[in-house]
Amino acid sequence: MMRRLAQLCLLTGALWAGLALAAADTPPGFALSSAHPDATAAGVEILEAGGNAFDAAVAVSAALAVVEPTGSGMGGGGFWLLHLADTGRQVMVDGREEAPSAATATLYQNDAGEVVPQLSRDGALAAAIPGQPAALVHLAKEYGRLPLARSLAPAIRLARDGFPVDGPLLARLAYRFQALAKSPAAARVFLPDGGLPAPDSLIRQPDLADMLERLAREGRDGFYTGEYARRLVDGVRAAGGIWRMEDLARYQVREREPITLELDGLRLVSASPPSSGGVVLSQVMQVLSLTEALSRPPVDRKHLVIEALRTAYRDRAAWLGDPDHVDMPITRLTSAEYAAEIAAEIDLEQARRSADLAPPQQLYADRPNTTHFSIIDAEGNRVAATLSINLSFGSAYMVPGTGILLNDEMDDFSAKPGVPNAYGLVGTQANAVGPGRRPLSSMTPTFVETGDRVAVLGTPGGSRIITMVLLGVLATLDGADAQTIVSAPRYHHQYLPDAVYYEPGAFTEAEQAELEARGFTLRSAGREYGNFHAVLWNTADHQLDAAADPRGIGTAAVRLAPAAESP
């Protein structure tokens, strides 16, 4: 007999009952985790110099732009989710890239109306107007305690003096070799003598150091107007791009209300559009609560997670885009009533089919990209920041004389309804290319607050970001420590393609057999993915815990304040 779950929707979802919101208190020190040891050290330096979490976020973001150019950069953008300890205010700083004013809905289609993927992935036409420089100035001015020049100092040092080539960087340079070789400025920095650099040789970026110094001196105008902006626009246009001076001049950071979900004592605070992350997480968590997923056997929990993701990613494709340009049914998508409708459709004996919900399957593509860091300072301020230039090294085009490696975030738009982007994600007019629009993102910087802990979570990983964060939220609710949260094997479903992708170890053999018997298509991802960073403040026992994903080379740091170290 079918085990329809409709009746469960009547239950109150007691799985998180008993959790009260985190008590007001201050942590015993500070903790952070990022994707590169030099970036973590930059954050530690700034916190030890008297900066707060927001100054440290500026330092870590800028340092990552230098030492992890595959993932994010001053030519890219991101979302910085902030918690201000003194007022309890939470805000998302939206430094997402924006389409240039000459962008049109068919920009990445040929005369026959076919999408030409390379156009939105490699080279200057793929680049949207960067948001990170404006966001760092905004963070320092509105929320920081130290001068911008102080917070940028570690990154400037790393850019000028150089940093040693590490394994992941070398692997990604090899992967993007052809595209980078076409950009003389990028090749000069990353491909000495036209080939791959030797392991541990130093990468120096003097133009980027100059740019950061200019930003410290002149603020946003040092990037978005004047002689430097002219250099950017001329370089982009000479390489086939469509930027105009006014596109840079009008770029503004936006402050957005995060998506917040309060559910049985859990408080989840996450990224709002133009990120899809918070909406997907909110919908999925409510479906999991209604179906009592956390208290079920592991295989049933996984079944429910996959089915909840299937619908949530369908809705992502159908509805979500730039909130300044698209009306989105966010209230409905994140409502308890809608979650109950979804829960009622799930059958614990049989997988549904995405084709019954919408159009044809396309192949999944995933490339290492993006970056994340998490910080809690000794006052209880928090930053969860996920930053990107999209695919590894973004567009792989460096504008001559600027030090700026441009993003290829235009590929996050839906180049044509129903045609998948590099992550296999489909979309509709809601996420069409258009002048001044911000492409829909999966970046999901997230805070989890329960009765006895606060977690600052996030990861890179394209369309898989949201499912990784979801699994991190569930692990947090299970009481896992930071190392377990970042290490746990992952699985993913994004509606189309209609398959569950998994890392080795995500399912036991018995679970795999059972899920296949229920009708799910399981495909090994073929490798590990993600680079998760978790910082936990256990308010009940006054402990800080932080961990960097063992899949990457990042590091975490916990420093106790002197008073907290005394018995």
List the catalytic residues.
370
With 0-12 / 13-18 / 19 or more C-beta atoms within 10 angstroms meaning exposed / middle / buried, residue 235 is: buried
**What track of x and - describes contact with ligand GLY for positions 453 through 492 (by CB under 6 A)?**
---------x------------------------------
Which residue from 197, 136, 150, 119 is spatially nearest to 421, judged by alpha carbons? 119
Does 442 bind ligand GLY (CB under 6 A)? Our answer is: yes
Does 441 bind ligand GLY (CB under 6 A)? Our answer is: yes
For the bound state, the minimum distance from the C-beta of residue 434 to ligand GLY, rounded and expressed in Å, comes to: 17
Only one of the segments 330-338, 440-448, 536-544, 557-565 lies at the binding site for ligand GLY (rule: CB under 6 A); that segment is 440-448
Does 97 bind ligand GLY (CB under 6 A)? Our answer is: no
Tell me whether residue 96 is annotated as binding. Answer: yes
Tell me whether residue 295 is annotated as binding. Answer: no
Q: Which of residues 347-376 bind ligand GLY (CB under 6 A)?
A: 370
Query: Residue written as tokens 């509606």?
Result: 495
For the bound state, the minimum distance from the C-beta of residue 276 to ligand GLY, rounded and expressed in Å, comes to: 8
Does 555 bind ligand GLY (CB under 6 A)? Our answer is: no
Please say which residue, 339 or 466, places its beta carbon nearer to ligand GLY: 466
For the bound state, the minimum distance from the C-beta of residue 458 to ligand GLY, rounded and expressed in Å, comes to: 12
DSSP string for 200-254: TPEE--HHHHHHHHHHHHHTTHHHHSHHHHHHHHHHHHHTT----HHHHHH---E
What gap in Å lies between CA 463 and CA 277, rounded to an integer?
9
What is the distance, to the nearest Å, from the Cα of residue 554 to the centroid of all Cα atoms in its chain?
16
Tell me whether residue 390 is annotated as binding. Answer: yes
- What are the Cα distances from residue 552, in Å, to 26, 133, 153? 30, 26, 25
For the bound state, the minimum distance from the C-beta of residue 551 to ligand GLY, rounded and expressed in Å, comes to: 18
374 pairs with which residues across the strands?
A: 33, 384
Please say which residue, 390 or 467, places its beta carbon nearer to ligand GLY: 390
Q: Which of residues 392-411 bind ligand GLY (CB under 6 A)?
A: 409
Only one of the segments 10-18, 257-265, 377-385, 439-447 lies at the binding site for ligand GLY (rule: CB under 6 A); that segment is 439-447
What gap in Å lies between CA 109 and CA 285, rounded to an integer?
37
Tokens of 2: 């079918």
- What are the Cα distances from residue 101, in Å, to 11, 240, 518? 50, 15, 49
Which residue from 217, 252, 203, 210 is spatially nearest to 231, judged by alpha carbons? 210
Using CB positions, name the residue nearest to ligand GLY: 441
Please say which residue, 151 or 459, places its beta carbon nearer to ligand GLY: 459
Tell me whether residue 55 is annotated as binding. Answer: no
Query: Taking CA 474 as the corner, what is the angle to CA 21 and CA 496, rounded to the nearest 5 degrees?
Result: 130
Tokens of 83: 């918690």
How many other CB atoms are there within 10 angstroms of residue 531's CB atom?
Answer: 28
Tell me whether residue 404 is annotated as binding. Answer: no
For the bound state, the minimum distance from the C-beta of residue 370 to ligand GLY, rounded and expressed in Å, comes to: 5
Residues of this chain that interact with ligand GLY (CB under 6 A) are 370, 388, 390, 409, 412, 441-443, 462
Residues placed in the known binding site: 96, 388-390, 412, 441-442, 462
Residues placed in the known binding site for L-glutamate: 96, 388-390, 412, 441-442, 462
